A and B are shown apart, each in its own frame.
Chain A
């Protein structure tokens, strides 16, 4: 079975992308819609959504779990709401816009390494390195040399989703909202690319798994400590790119009419879900570049120095810790979202172009000088 997958990369890729999206990304995105409301309630001293429950028929027993099942109720509600297409919209672009918003972020998940390579045939053995393996299965859907460039190329496509949604709706407010959103996303995309340049330079590669391998299992060698400025710049720019508070000027729930005002039901739900998937993706990229990816502190290929582990256990442990890092970063984003007040549009533009951009250029020059100095000594 595993030999077959190692030889047929396309079938393996289909299984991996299905597993990654269905078993990790979609459940986490749905759960974070609930977690966000619950977290905000806690921070504002309210109860928040805690009433949804599932009654097991016949037993008279209800499953409440602090209201976690709210996301099921929300999804069902959206799916069965009226499918409304306003009369004057451009029907083709109106239909394409939500797809353009969600498809790029789903595709870019393919470059994220969610575990170390599997050594086929030696699953239960203790191995010290992958060099003796005849066949390996990378736990990463797409392994391309241009990895991060693939991500930036696709991420720019998401701008079309918001702009088209605003324009095709035939509504003044959504048009202006779409323009606000696109100018914000474009302004911060420049910084996003440039702030990671220092990391690319330090690792000498654009391939995400190679970056993870370069960081190793000693947390002091992780990118965060070599690129602290790049980390802060990227996190800021990427949060602006997800259009969430404190950068939620394109659309602010009760008071700013945004680009998807003419969308309702599941069509709106797609924009909503895309936003949450973007937060998870941002967490995945930060984990890969700055937090050691799937590396576990002190865990080598053959286990810890005090406890040897079989290969399969090492791989599973690494994937679990990778998931934990992403959960932590998602939680951090929720905390930021509910702590900071919203920027004004002029502050937003000023920060993007006049502060983050020059700082990210400075970061490149400093990193380059440091790398040069290090290779001379």
Chain B
């Protein structure tokens, strides 16, 4: 069966176009009366001290890396979840019922996979990589 992707493209173009329309409103309707004080960075009314390109806590990087790991691993679960009923049935599936022998194949596969996830989570937990302090 061929999938019709044209509506997806329409939706994406419409979403981007609509957002750009809002930006255009800002650019074209608003008056422009710049002055140096108004355009300086906000720092509680005083002149900015130093550069804003400051060093920040490495914890932010850790969160980003953990997100990548766990989000990619969860992406592997989507096809498994969608096919779970078929994986756990050796006959044909009709609705929620399995006509044939029920097998724990899909369940065990998933347990192994989630088990690895839990081990990873326990490791970063112990290493105090998650949470603050």
B22 and A266 within 8 A (CB) = yes
B127 CB within 8 Å of chain A: no
Which residues of B, 5-23, contact A by the 8 Å Cβ criterion? 5-12, 14-16, 18-20, 22-23
A107 and B11 within 8 A (CB) = yes
A179 and B26 within 8 A (CB) = no
Partner of A106, one of B19, B31, B48: B19
Which residues of A, 129-185, contact B by the 8 Å Cβ criterion? 141-145, 148-150, 156, 169-176, 179, 182-183
Q: Mark B79-119, 1 if CB is under 8 A from A, else 0.
A: 00111111011000100111000101011001100100110
Which residues of A, 248-272, contact B by the 8 Å Cβ criterion? 257, 261-262, 265-267, 269-270
B133 CB within 8 Å of chain A: yes
A99 and B19 within 8 A (CB) = yes
For chains A and B in complex, what number of residue pairs have CB atoms within 8 angstroms? 240
Chain B hits for A372, CB < 8 A:
88, 102, 104, 106-107
A194 and B84 within 8 A (CB) = no
Binds B, one of A28-36, A45-53, A197-205, A301-309: A197-205
The tally of residues in A whose CB lies under 8 Å from a CB in B reads 87
Cβ of A71 to closest chain B Cβ, rounded Å: 15
B47 CB within 8 Å of chain A: no
Chain A CB within 10 A, most for which of B11, B70, B102: B11
Q: Mark A64-91, 1 if CB is under 8 A from B, else 0.
A: 0000000000000001111111111000
B67 CB within 8 Å of chain A: yes
Partner of A365, one of B40, B54, B111: B111
A282 CB within 8 Å of chain B: no
B26 and A266 within 8 A (CB) = yes
A349 and B40 within 8 A (CB) = no
A350 CB within 8 Å of chain B: yes
Shortest Cβ distance from B125 into A: residue: A354
Chain A hits for B102, CB < 8 A:
372, 375-376
Report if A95-B67 is in contact (Cβ < 8 Å); known contacts: A144-B8, A183-B60, A372-B107: no
The tally of residues in B whose CB lies under 8 Å from a CB in A reads 78
A145 and B3 within 8 A (CB) = yes
Binds B, one of A8-16, A231-239, A288-296, A324-332: A8-16
Shortest Cβ distance from B5 into A: residue: A144
Chain B hits for A267, CB < 8 A:
23, 26
B54 and A172 within 8 A (CB) = yes
Chain B hits for A201, CB < 8 A:
81-82, 84
Binds B, one of A118-126, A313-321, A333-341, A356-364: A356-364
Give the docked Cα–Cα distance between A41 and B31 (Å).
33
Partner of A110, one of B7, B31, B89, B125: B7
Report if A95-B78 is in contact (Cβ < 8 Å); known contacts: A10-B7, A141-B11, A350-B131: no
Chain A hits for B7, CB < 8 A:
9-10, 12-13, 110, 141-143
B15 and A172 within 8 A (CB) = no
Give the docked Cα–Cα distance between A169 and B53 (Å).
11
B30 and A81 within 8 A (CB) = yes
Give the docked Cα–Cα distance between A295 and B30 (Å).
45
Shortest Cβ distance from A149 into B: residue: B78
Chain A CB within 10 A, most for which of B3, B30, B39, B125: B30
Chain B hits for A262, CB < 8 A:
41-42
Give the docked Cα–Cα distance between A98 and B71 (Å).
25
Give 9 closest A-B pairs by Cβ, nearest first.
A83-B30, A13-B7, A266-B26, A110-B11, A107-B15, A186-B67, A346-B132, A106-B15, A10-B6
A selection of 25 A-B contacts at a CB cut-off of 8 Å is A10-B9, A13-B6, A82-B30, A86-B41, A87-B36, A88-B40, A98-B23, A141-B10, A143-B7, A149-B75, A150-B8, A170-B41, A171-B43, A174-B52, A186-B64, A187-B67, A193-B75, A201-B84, A204-B85, A261-B42, A266-B25, A267-B23, A350-B131, A365-B111, A375-B88
